[in-house]
Structure 1
Amino acid sequence: MSAGFAAKRLGKELQKISTSLPPGIELVTAENFEEWLLDIKVLDSNPLYENETYRLKFRFGSTYPIEPPEVVFIQLPDRPIPIHPHVYSNGIICLDLLGQQGWSPVQNVESICMSLQSMLTGNSKNERPPGDEDFVRANRQRPKDIQFYYHDNDV
């Protein structure tokens, strides 16, 4: 797989999302095919995330879309990292869709944003993942290299 293939795919995605995105998703910057920033809002009524906007950073490798992009929440003065049982305080997201096992090349930036909106919408726990402080302090891996254990791995 060449970097050209990734750039071609990202070019098509950028063209589409520049003209139309679902409600609550906004493209902030996409100056190259390596890193994009998008903002998402939870549209359904969930008091945990009401009136909040969250910033996502997407990093694409040369093997995209065969391999998932690296996606994290980033903190800005007006953009907090959401408190959620699958979102670490450093912005790393534990979601099988973003890992090698759950990823499919049919996914794209828009579908990832919609999945994260849905994940936040369905949350009722105002808490971080177990072991958040230790994980954030000790982790030296890039998000896409972390092997999360998902509860449905036992099935």
Structure 2
Amino acid sequence: MAAVYMRRLGKELREIETEAPPAGLRLLKADDFDTWIFQIEVLGDSLYRGERFALKFRFDNTYPFSAPAVQFVVDSQMRAPVHPHVYTNGHICASILGEDWSPTLSVISVCITIQSMLASCKKKELPEGNDTYVRTAPDNPKKTHFVYDDDTV
């Protein structure tokens, strides 16, 4: 299993380094096959125009058969976007990171999906129950069982 994980991530990294990532995406860190960080910017006419966020991917040896742990970086310099599907600790409620994950998805396709999720947002607001979730959430967002009941944002 580890060989598949390393081969797949090596292939994705080579593609990212040799082909320019899509507009608004930039690889900031990929020193190993454990953690990658991307800068994500929503382009066009959006509530998030001009804002940049850092998106962290954590991989384990089950990738690509299970989703990576993906969250926005939240620290003294970065914050998560205010969005109905993004908690202030950076966790993202998106079905492709859980029950709708497919091994055909890639790091770039996840970035594009999250970029699109932000671009289509009509109202900047926190998810219902944000404070309670952030207080009790595990460090790894993959350990949360999200309920996907709102696909309108």
Q: TM-score, normalised by structure 1?
A: 0.92
Whether 1:44 aligns to 2:44 is yes
Q: 1:93, 1:58 → 2: CA distance?
A: 12
Q: 1:22, 1:141 → 2: CA distance?
A: 29
How do residues 4-153 of structure 1 correspond to structure 2 at under 5 angstroms? 4-19=3-18, 20-46=20-46, 48-99=47-98, 101-140=99-138, 142-151=140-149
The gaps in structure 1 that reach 5 residues or longer are: none
Q: How many positions carry a matched residue from both structures?
A: 149
Q: 2:26, 2:75 → 1: CA distance?
A: 16
Q: Is the 8 A contact 2:65 2:102 kept in 1?
A: yes
Moved >6 Å (runs of 4+):
none
SS in 2 for 1:39: strand
The gaps in structure 2 that reach 5 residues or longer are: none
SS in 1 for 2:57: strand
Q: Is the 8 A contact 2:87 2:127 kept in 1?
A: yes
Q: 2:62, 2:17 → 1: CA distance?
A: 23
Q: Is the 8 A contact 2:34 2:58 kept in 1?
A: yes
Paired amino acid for 1:80: R
The CA deviation at 1:125 is: 1.3
What percent identity do the matched residue pairs reach?
Answer: 44
SS in 2 for 1:36: strand
Query: How well do the aligned residues superpose, as a CA RMSD in angstroms?
Result: 1.3
